[in-house]
Structure 1
């Protein structure tokens, strides 16, 4: 006897799915708008005019940088196929990008601490613009150079800008709590709204105006050039440790010692690598997971739904970070457990619903359940980014911030390269199951980080009381 849930998976016609996704997109938009507009005075932090000007300047630059990145993402694979390259050759190009980020990007990113974070941000713009220019060539070697340049730029994007922001924030004497406002807004705009607008703009250039698959890369170059002009005209330089007697090898040794000697930094790096590794694996796998038999799915609308879910998560994070009663180390344990459960859905649905073997058609019922889980995971991603930024600002020493942050990306890039190389060796459900395990391990490590943080605060409080007692004058009659 076959249970109903084990029967042949029912299919949802493309038009019905399109309407469902559109309704879900509209609902998420209303939720994000309602969450942002409903903030009371308790949720809002009173800041100074100088800080607001500083924050808005950074948000403008960060949004332009992310626009340059998001415009390229949906069309890289497609562009390579139009040049006639197969799946194997395209896979090698992607591996080259992540490998470059691990090797060359770590070195270039670490130079930011010594040579200047503003200079590193400008280097990001130049490197990524050159990478975009290489997309005009159908030559495999030229495209490989572009992927190497893109890998270096990615390392700078996720280290130099945050390092500059944190150093400049404290150099100008702003309140530490205000830093969370910038982080949450940067994720809300750069990883949410800008991603959606970039996707729509890219679709306009390629499909509506028929400018070809290279046009989004040209548009990305323009946004990057505008952002670079703003950086050059309005940013000041700051450094980690500009000591002349410290070469790059010494910086690496210092960063390694800091990670090895401070369990909090080591735990933070492991947590970041586990989550981001799962996230990048999800980026590669969500499309074949929802259409294993070439089902018709509205990729653009689903991507926009993911980004709105991420915006919803960043809105939630902004409230959590602004609350004095909620610690980031505590609520992130729950976020990692939820994200682990959401990526376990493809494995569970594979057991509960008999997979379809029919090619084409609409998405299956199992695919709809997975789509709901994927949106939940994207909401967790929206909470993760500002939260991990907040923890990095607390635990990573300023003098080696960029170097340590790029050290964190080494295991991440190794993991993604291994996944890309073996993408056809394991079933998709096994890959998602592995990511789910990684995220659950991240929740355990987060619990350990919270415990160590509590212990450190208790010890610091005891030392302060002891110093105050020693400094208190004796009452002499």
Structure 2
């Protein structure tokens, strides 16, 4: 493997270590022992859940190919997963708010375990069922756990600012360290122990089962809307009205937040499909697993930066995220820029090209932005989404995301790769504009309050 990859990985690792070791009291928030115990319990469960998810990711396509399925059939299986998340996500989100978030988290474990079991069958219909179950599980992973955390955090009377600690640590561990370790562990099972491509799915099921036991034994139940008179349809309609209505600044904040999330995550999932052909357009030999680990290390760097930013009162999350979206937009323009400025290589195979090396640095920058995005969007969701329908609304956000990803998957060969990256870059710029609007709306109450005080101060001499 080329020295360049080791240099990039080593540099990122050194920066992450330096950031974590150099944290001062200004970068930390003083908390209570009760909160630390609560936080550590959640982080353990979340890390196990993410291990169950990350172990599967690198081997899904490979497993299907070993069963003899072609690119078209595999694409249909992937579309089924995203389509399932889109169709059933809002329903399971509403059920989580109504029937309990703890039950929803347990349902996630059971559903994903069943999805893992289906991977033992080479039959297309069984694998399709597994993808549908996986789509449902994904919806629960990205809504039920966060909803349970926010509700339980508030129910126990912890300070609101402490939520940012849990969010940043969850991303640092679950989307960074656990992802790297899961990739290495999966590689150990498949290559070193020669257990076959289904082994990571069995390991994922074991981690999910362990996490489920911890949930059942240590978590308490919490709900969304406490009204027992509201049925599922009424709750679903209420969440839709909350997003669609523009008559209130609160509803506009929810709509803006949903659009921002869909634009960023849509670009992120598109990047997942595009980075391999971007770095190896001539079938260059690149270490996919090592590059994946490098991306996850860059994401850890981003989450470490986010923890510092959110520990301070300034800059606010609504402010610095505008810059993050602009930087991420520029980073995804590199494949377009290099296609004009750097002469394309016609050498088949071989090592990574010069343009590929530049793009890798840009992609690491984008992944660092992803690391900042996750805890920051979680904090904004905790501030703006009403508690009574949190899981429902969060899954509403995923509807346009899943539609977008399905369209990209269906037409991935129809457009040049530069067009796809350009589209993602534009989406991220739009997200920055919407983030600016969100910040303006969030500042309105404070501006109005200041104006009222100023008016009262001016009127006071007249009263004398």
| Smaller-chain TM-score bracket | over 0.9
Question: Which residue does 2:254 correspond to in 1?
Answer: 265
1:288 Cα offset (Å): 0.9
Question: Which residue does 2:53 correspond to in 1?
Answer: 69
TM-score, reference length from structure 2: 0.95
Cα distance in 1 for residues equivalent to 2:19 and 2:361: 20
Question: Which residue does 1:170 correspond to in 2?
Answer: 154
CA RMSD of aligned residues (A): 1.6
Runs of 4+ in 1 over 4 A off after TM superposition: 460-467
Offset from partner CA, 1:61-116 (integer Å, 9 cap, x none): 00000000000000000000000000000000000000000001221122100000
Cα distance in 1 for residues equivalent to 2:234 and 2:217: 33
Moved more, 217-226 or 255-264: 255-264
Counterpart check, 1:373 vs 2:362: yes
Matches within 5 A, 1:306-317: 306-317=295-306
Question: Which residue does 1:415 correspond to in 2?
Answer: 404
Question: Which residue does 1:215 correspond to in 2?
Answer: 199
1:193 Cα offset (Å): 0.2
Counterpart check, 1:134 vs 2:118: yes
Q: 1:394 to 1:360 in 2, by over 3 A?
A: same
Question: Which residue does 1:284 correspond to in 2?
Answer: 273
Question: Which residue does 1:12 correspond to in 2?
Answer: none
Question: Which residue does 1:475 correspond to in 2?
Answer: none
How many positions carry a matched residue from both structures? 453
Matches within 5 A, 1:77-476: 77-261=61-245, 262-459=251-448
1:358 Cα offset (Å): 3.2
Cα distance in 1 for residues equivalent to 2:370 and 2:453: 37
1:466 Cα offset (Å): 10
Offset from partner CA, 1:390-423 (integer Å, 9 cap, x none): 0000000000100000000000000000000000
Contact 1:125-1:224 within 8 A present in 2 as well? yes
Offset from partner CA, 1:250-269 (integer Å, 9 cap, x none): 11211111112311111000
Offset from partner CA, 1:210-245 (integer Å, 9 cap, x none): 000000000000000000000000000000014232
Q: 1:466 to 1:399 in 2, by over 3 A?
A: farther
Moved more, 240-249 or 215-224: 240-249
Cα distance in 2 for residues equivalent to 1:106 and 1:400: 11
Contact 1:330-1:447 within 8 A present in 2 as well? yes
Runs of at least 5 residues in structure 1 that lack an aligned partner in the other structure? 1-14, 468-477
Question: Which residue does 1:10 correspond to in 2?
Answer: none
Q: 1:228 to 1:461 in 2, by over 3 A?
A: farther
Cα distance in 1 for residues equivalent to 2:234 and 2:336: 46
Q: 1:170 to 1:463 in 2, by over 3 A?
A: farther
Contact 1:132-1:217 within 8 A present in 2 as well? yes
